[in-house]
Structure 1
Amino acid sequence: MSQIRPFPPTELIDRADEEEALRLAPAPDLKDWVIANYLTVEGELYNPDHDHIAEMLHDNEEFLSFAWASSAAVAKKRMVLGQCEKVMFNQGGWRKARQEQQMRDWYGFVPIYLITIDASFCEQATDRDFCALIEHELYHIGVERDDDGEPLYSDMTGLPKHYLAGHDVEEFVGVVKRWGASENVKRLVEVAKQAPFVSDVNISKCCGTCVIS
């Protein structure tokens, strides 16, 4: 498989440029690329934190799918470049059937989790920004753990238990300025002082293009 990062379909970008309504499309090539590079031990961007996702996909390809969106969304007055969601449908009438049909038309099944990425951002993003965005969304798929930090498994399926995870650290700058940093914020600061695990060289190998710093 080619290591060059996947780019969104040009027709989605063209529609965004023409200021048409937001369009979405399935991204199976992005899923394949993520599996090869983040979820495979030999991958250039492999991260053992996501082993629980790899374990689920090995047993059930319906666990996770990807989609492109023609442009960013806006939520709480912020631009949303990526979104991970646990797929749920509106009840009542034909709404649930219609939404399920869209998923089956796209993927052949209804995924459990869906990651949607802004195509217009990714078309011009640096390799580092692109890879960081993908990793951010993967981290939103959390696995339940016991007191020792080991994943919890379902008695029925024998597979890890998952949930939609929030951010490790979320705080206002003003609160930290006035009241000090919480333990989570302090931990993030300490991690930020260290050199990143993924180097520019690794990302360039994975994506096949030069990283613009």
Structure 2
Amino acid sequence: MDGYSGECNSCQVINSVRLRGPESSIGRGRVDVFYNGEWGTICDDGWDINDAKVVCRQLGYDYAVRALLGGNVPNGSGRIWLDEVRCVGNENNISSCSHGGWGSHNCTHDKDAGIQCSVFNSVRLRGPRSSSGIGRVEVFYNGEWGTICDDGWDINDAKVVCRQLGYDYAARALLGGNVPHGSGRIWLDEVRCVGNENDISSCSHREWGSHNCRHKEDAGVQCSGYEERS
């Protein structure tokens, strides 16, 4: 998923984007684009989750976790190829998105844009308002989606889920009755997050599948805004 073959100028470019940085092998890093025979960076002016979605898809990842702004990825050097990138999110190539023109920018490399991608996101929202960041929380474990019991569910737990989904912040933690009931597995109970964890499964909880709940106690969240910083 590197976006190039080898380390020579004459090598064939496989993809017009690549990630750079110590975590690039796991889908997190500075975004470089290839144009006119050279690799260069993207300025973070207007850089958001829709832009990240396009790059992650282009690199072969399933999911964009967040868009990273300058300071959250290693600074590049040389060319800054793109600025004011504006993607809808369904484009197949970052160069298909609206931008200010190749090589036209007012940036320095401390504003280089980056992304965090994932092969699979282990949390999702379900319900009629899930596309707006409101819904029942489900987690993926052992090949199945299941719900979380609302015992002890609070704003710190909601913060982790919303961050994991790529939102800026958690507005509310929703208890059973405030979200549509799920069915099937109840995977987690007694979840206790500090609030700064990167994944809900990293929080304290009972063993997977161990609970004393029914689906009328399914936990939910209300998130707001899309994440642009790590």
TM normalised by structure 2 equals 0.24
User: More helix by proportion, 1 or 2?
Assistant: 1
Structure index of larger Rg: 2
Kindly indicate whether structure 1 or structure 2 has the higher relative contact order, using CA contacts under 8 Å at least 6 residues apart: 1
User: More strand by proportion, 1 or 2?
Assistant: 2
